[in-house]
Amino acid sequence: MTTLAWRNLGRHTRRSVVTAGAVGIVVYLSLLYFGLGGAAVNSLYQRLTDTSGHVQVRQEGWRDATRFDATLLKDTEALRETVSGASAQHMERPVVVGVLNAPALLSGAERSRGVSLTGQDWPEVMVDRRLEGGTLSGEFLSGRGGIVLGAGLAEALDVAIGDDVWAYAPGGSGFGAGVFTLVGTVDLPDQATELATAWVGLDDLQEMVAPDAVQRLEIHGVNLTRLDKDVVSDALAAELQGTLENLQVATWRVLNPSTVRLLSTIDPMLFAVSVLFFVLAGLLVLNTVYLSVMERIHEFGVIHALGAGDRKVLGMVALESMFLAGLGTAVGSAAGLATVAGLSDGFRIPSLESYYASFGLTPVWYPSLEPHQVAFAVGFAFLTAILAALWPAWVASRLEPIEAMRFHV
């Protein structure tokens, strides 16, 4: 029966190839779809970790603090050494960044606006990450006394590169005010972010509001661009929490719970859409197998007359469907895995960069596949083939030999 099932596929080679090809295309598209879904997850993950780090060290109870100085980490040199040492044991290229945010009033010659002024360390790799998807006019912070504003914020303040920008931030322990030179503006895809962007060097903001202090230390694993490869953030946070007992250590998951919940909904959505793909493929397999059965009713009558039972005939028809699904699945899986692997180092579509950024996504995407997604695509292809063959196979198995041998298409 297995031999007969295989030979029957060759009777209408073109139809068999088209059907197997359709199954292969569905498997290929499903794997590519899963891979792009993984790219979206990785893009959200990278955007989150670029802005908040993979792990943060803060003062305990910082979320509920009502005073600015209650959020500060003071005399941080020893703390930096401890954090850097632990990070180097878990990450390949960790970058520890001190960050200080202060509510401030920025003023140009005639206009002013309230913002959250950000002062932090600016290693080159972090500058590239923060500017990704945006356009820098002028230069970035290269020394003391400079400020970089979002292009929209600079327009709102009516200042241009080279102009002075006054900053007022009372309530801290520093001077409470300072004057900066606008050295660059950033044109970002997200207008709301652009209007809130005001960056200075960490030393300058410390001098204004909190000498020798930061609000948080961010640990960035700059080589971690894919969520499925991040197996170190939790371990690093646990180790640091055991060492820094009076401080709070949190991973990006703890810091961004709403986005983590969003990430958890992407997988079910991908599976739901993939089921629709396979339903369409199943209808095509059903059509092919049913036509094949109708064309061979006379043959099935002969097979029944020679003593083949209902189960053998049913099994032969089911095998034909599984052969079609197997060939299509093998080709589709190989093509899908090869495509995702080829794109896994990252790709970008230049014309859509601003569109991605408006949804909080990075312009570079890193497709990835989980083992359960590949298993789903392959397993559902076979399940679809079996279900599609059940009715034609049942029809063939229930034929009366005499009536079937008299039948002519």
Q: Could you tell me which residues are beta bridge partners of residue 297?
A: none
DSSP secondary structure of 155-173? HHHT--TT-EEEEE-TTSS
DSSP state, residue 144:
T
Residue 353: its pLDDT value, please? 61
Span 71-85, average pLDDT: 89
Residue ending a domain, among 161, 194, 223, is 223
- Cα distance from N-terminal residue to C-terminal residue, the chain: 23
User: Do 155 and 120 sit in the same domain of this protein?
Assistant: yes
| 3 state DSSP class of 233 | helix
CB 106 within 8 A of CB 157: yes
148 has a pLDDT exceeding 90: yes
Evaluate whether residue 50 is within a structural domain.
no
User: Do 115 and 193 sit in the same domain of this protein?
Assistant: yes
Q: How many residues can be counted in the chain?
A: 409
Q: Which domain holds residue 336?
A: 2-45+261-406
The first and second tokens of residue 149, run together, are 């504003």
User: Do 68 and 40 sit in the same domain of this protein?
Assistant: no
Evaluate whether residue 398 is within a structural domain.
yes
Residue ending a domain, among 207, 223, 239, is 223
| 3 state DSSP class of 96 | strand
Residue 300: its pLDDT value, please? 61
User: Do 66 and 36 sit in the same domain of this protein?
Assistant: no
Convert the pLDDT of each residue in 84-96 to its tens digit.
999 999 988 899 9
User: Do 132 and 281 sit in the same domain of this protein?
Assistant: no
| 3 state DSSP class of 112 | strand
**Percentage of the residues of the chain whose pLDDT score is greater than 90:** 31
What is the C-alpha separation between 128 and 331, in angstroms, rounded?
Answer: 40
Evaluate whether residue 147 is within a structural domain.
yes
Residue 9: its pLDDT value, please? 64
Q: Which of 168, 184, 188 lies closest to 176 in space, CA to CA?
A: 168
What is the C-alpha separation between 322 and 302, in angstroms, rounded?
Answer: 23
User: Do 37 and 67 sit in the same domain of this protein?
Assistant: no
User: Do 165 and 276 sit in the same domain of this protein?
Assistant: no
Residue 301: its pLDDT value, please? 63
Evaluate whether residue 245 is within a structural domain.
no
- Count of domains forming the chain: 2
Convert the pLDDT of each residue in 162-196 to its tens digit.
999 999 998 788 888 999 999 999 988 777 888 88
Q: Which is higher by pLDDT, 82 or 128?
A: 82
Residue 237: its pLDDT value, please? 93
CB 230 within 8 A of CB 45: yes
Residue 165: its pLDDT value, please? 95
Residue 162: its pLDDT value, please? 94
User: Do 287 and 218 sit in the same domain of this protein?
Assistant: no
373 has a pLDDT exceeding 90: no
Q: Do β-strands 213-214 and 73-74 pair in parallel, antiparallel, or remain unpaired?
A: antiparallel
Q: What is the mean pLDDT of the chain?
A: 82
64-68, 286-290, 404-408: least confidently modelled range: 404-408
User: Do 97 and 157 sit in the same domain of this protein?
Assistant: yes
376 has a pLDDT exceeding 90: no
Evaluate whether residue 39 is within a structural domain.
yes
DSSP state, residue 62:
G
Evaluate whether residue 313 is within a structural domain.
yes
What is the C-alpha separation between 148 and 115, in angstroms, rounded?
Answer: 13
User: Do 76 and 178 sit in the same domain of this protein?
Assistant: yes
What pTM was estimated for this model as a whole?
0.74
The first and second tokens of residue 59, run together, are 């003062």
Evaluate whether residue 228 is within a structural domain.
no
Residue 26: its pLDDT value, please? 82
Q: Is the dihedral of CA 206, 210, 215, 219 positive or negative?
A: positive
User: Do 40 and 61 sit in the same domain of this protein?
Assistant: no
67-81, 94-108, 254-268, 299-313: least confidently modelled range: 299-313
Evaluate whether residue 238 is within a structural domain.
no
Where residue 248 falls among pLDDT bands split at 50, 70, 90?
very high
Convert the pLDDT of each residue in 344-365 to its tens digit.
888 777 666 666 665 666 777 8
